[in-house]
Amino acid sequence: MGRTLSEKVWDEHVVRSTPGEPDLLYIDLHLIHEVTSPQAFDGLRLSGRTVRRSDLTLATEDHNVPTVDWDKPIADPVSRTQVETLRRNAEEFGVRLHPLGDIEQGIVHVVGPQLGLTQPGMTIVCGDSHTSTHGAFGAIAFGIGTSEVEHVLATQTLPQSKPRTMAVTVNGSLPAGVTAKDLVLTLIAHTGTGGGQGYIVEYRGQAIEELSMEGRMTVCNMSIEWGAKAGLIAPDQTTFDYIEGRPEAPKGADWDAAVEHWASLRTDDDAVFDEEIVLDASTMTPFVTWGTNPGQGVPLGAAVPSPEDFEEESDRIAAQKALEYMALEAGTPMREVKVDTVFVGSCTNGRIEDLRLAAEIVRGRQVDADTRLLVVPGSVRVRLQAEQEGLDVVFKEAGGEWRGAGCSMCLGMNPDTLAPGERSASTSNRNFEGRQGKGGRTHLVSIPVAAATAIRGTLSSPADLEAI
């Protein structure tokens, strides 16, 4: 019987397999940031161990770095301690670090692909749940906890039980103006937040193949939001074109050998998935969340649902609680929901293509007088590229704020937070209670919806904007 893509990648990394025990998996790339690594390094120190493969390890600062005044000392003492600890640990253990102020600094999941370190067929881990982003390249990539970070540092391996496999096949093409973000939000609303539990998911079908690498990363990024262990997409010409020429991509004969191998990383025709979901992209529309988990979403053209709309008692209770927290009334058209802050950024939608798309919509328009637009590039490289293209000027002229690179308002560990009761339209991936600041209310949206919402001040799509 044939094998699926994820089984092929898995099998290539098994160091040791014993019946009744988890497989010992080799890890090709270990990404590190300041929040989940300090105790892992301290654990190494306490037991007199070292980093086995510092040449397969990369660290960057992202979660709590400020996006303004980044040349000054970090004001918050806990953030500063974490960042300084990472710097000391990187120095002591010989790990390559891109600190604040470095040209390669940025969100860990933006930096890996951008450097060309993220490649097909790899195993990639990081102490961060959105590591699944790297699956867009046909890699098995997943988030781990701090004791696992220590395990990978010491051994470059991780004991792992093989997850079950699922295919998500998205047939047809996305209509114009509908993005990868709408696709994945539609999927999560369909499956619920636990639908992918225990699975490695392969996204496939025409709509997936037609996505850019940025779009594929957006889809894989949110795999964890419906519970999947990891999500991946078979590498193809789009993948190879994206990687070629990047600083850490293979060169010359190595490139040819790599591409030859990567091209073999496809699910066999006779392979069987444990589970399969089929969706039709051509019926998808801009999609937004109304609740407090990423599965509580509806098309932008719909209204806020009523708890009565749900069959399951638990869903009704969850909806009721979410509506209270979000201060929304059932039956209100989503388009009438007024937004205070629009956040464009994060590892879901903070890459150059995202900023270009946002700028295209904002260009020549003015941000609504009662709305704040915050644009945070995913990395310093993205920021510099955008500035070279004049995108920063477009945002600033429209009345938006242009910031330095980092996670920023995605999780509000740095000073970029919502005030209690404030409402955001956010291109990030989590709308949990308080995620963007205590009492803050988050609507997850795509880039076009974020940009149009900034202009109109209520949840909107570019089609709602007056022509200019």
Partner 1 sequence: MDAFTTHTGVGVPLRRSNVDTDQIIPAVYLKRVTRDGFEDGLFAAWRGDPSFVLNNEAYAGASVLVAGPDFGTGSSREHAVWALQNYGFKVVISPRFADIFRGNSGKAGLLTAKVDEKVVQRLWDLLEDQPGTAVTVDLESRTVRAGEGPDAIEDSFDIDDYTRWRLLEGLDDIGITLGHADDIAAFEAERPRWKPVTQRA
Rounded CA-CA distance 155/27 in Å is: 9
Min dist CB 63 to ligand SF4, Å, is 6
Residue 88 CB burial class (10 angstroms; 0-12, 13-18, ≥19): exposed
* Greatest pairwise CA separation for the chain in angstroms: 66
Q: Which does 263 bind (CB under 5 to 8 A by kind): partner 1, ligand SF4, none?
A: none
Min dist CB 33 to ligand SF4, Å, is 8
Residue selected from 132, 156, 165, 239 as contacting partner 1 according to rule CB under 8 A:
156
Q: Which does 257 bind (CB under 5 to 8 A by kind): partner 1, ligand SF4, none?
A: partner 1
- Burial profile 240-254: b = 16 or more Cβ within 10 angstroms, e = fewer: bebbeeeeebbeeee
The span of 54-62, 169-177, 337-345, 404-412 binding partner 1 (CB under 8 A) equals 54-62
CA 144 to chain centre: 15
Neighbouring C-beta atoms of residue 432, cutoff 10 Å: 12
Q: Which does 411 bind (CB under 5 to 8 A by kind): ligand SF4, partner 1, none?
A: ligand SF4
When the beta carbons of 117 and 444 are compared against partner 1, the nearer one is 117
Q: Which does 46 bind (CB under 5 to 8 A by kind): ligand SF4, partner 1, none?
A: partner 1
The span of 1-9, 20-28, 400-408, 442-450 binding partner 1 (CB under 8 A) equals 20-28
Q: Which does 63 bind (CB under 5 to 8 A by kind): ligand SF4, partner 1, none?
A: ligand SF4
The span of 114-122, 274-282, 344-352, 454-462 binding partner 1 (CB under 8 A) equals 114-122
- In order, the DSSP letters of 87-126 are HHHHHHHT-EEE-TTSTT-B-HHHHHHHHT---TT-EEEE
The span of 40-48, 192-200, 305-313, 351-359 binding partner 1 (CB under 8 A) equals 40-48
When the beta carbons of 40 and 459 are compared against partner 1, the nearer one is 40
How many chain residues are in contact with partner 1, going by CB under 8 A?
45
Min dist CB 410 to ligand SF4, Å, is 3
Min dist CB 453 to partner 1, Å, is 35
Rounded CA-CA distance 285/174 in Å is: 8
- In order, the DSSP letters of 253-316 are HHHHHHHHHHHT-S--TT---SEEEEEEGGG---EEE-SSSTT-EEETTSBPPPGGG-SSHHHH
Residue selected from 2, 92, 96, 268 as contacting partner 1 according to rule CB under 8 A:
96
Residue selected from 99, 159, 172, 307 as contacting partner 1 according to rule CB under 8 A:
159
Rounded CA-CA distance 400/409 in Å is: 15
Min dist CB 34 to partner 1, Å, is 9
Min dist CB 92 to ligand SF4, Å, is 24
Place of tokens 């980093």: 51
Q: Does 29 bind partner 1 (CB under 8 A)?
A: yes
Please name the amino acid found at residue 327.
A
Q: Which does 255 bind (CB under 5 to 8 A by kind): partner 1, ligand SF4, none?
A: partner 1
When the beta carbons of 156 and 186 are compared against partner 1, the nearer one is 156
Q: Is 14 helix (H, G, I), strand (E, B) or coil?
A: strand
| Spatial contact of 418 and 424, defined as CB atoms under 8 Å apart | yes
Q: Which does 347 bind (CB under 5 to 8 A by kind): partner 1, ligand SF4, none?
A: ligand SF4
Rounded CA-CA distance 343/357 in Å is: 14
CA 452 to chain centre: 22
Q: Which stretches of the chain bind ligand SF4, using CB under 6 A?
A: 62-63, 107, 109, 128, 130, 346-347, 407, 410-411, 428-429
Residue selected from 103, 257, 272, 317 as contacting partner 1 according to rule CB under 8 A:
257
Per-residue 3-state assignment (H helix, E strand, C coil) for 134-160? HHHHCCEEEECCHHHHHHHHHHCEEEE
Tokens of 444: 């997850």
Long-range contacts, stretch 20-24, CB < 8 angstroms, 24+ apart: 21/159, 22/159, 22/160, 22/161, 23/159, 23/160, 23/161, 23/162, 24/157, 24/158, 24/159, 24/160
Q: Is 32 helix (H, G, I), strand (E, B) or coil?
A: strand
Q: Among 432, 414, 438, 408, which Cα is nearest to 343's?
A: 408
When the beta carbons of 159 and 399 are compared against partner 1, the nearer one is 159
Q: Which does 130 bind (CB under 5 to 8 A by kind): ligand SF4, partner 1, none?
A: ligand SF4
- In order, the DSSP letters of 214-245 are HHHHHHHHGGGGGTBSEEE----HHHHHHHTT
Min dist CB 26 to partner 1, Å, is 5
Q: Does 154 bind partner 1 (CB under 8 A)?
A: yes
* Binding site residues, partner 1, CB under 8 A: 15-16, 24, 26, 28-29, 38-39, 42-43, 46-47, 49, 52, 54-58, 78, 81-82, 85, 96, 116-117, 119, 122, 146-147, 150-151, 154-157, 159, 248-250, 254-255, 257-258, 261
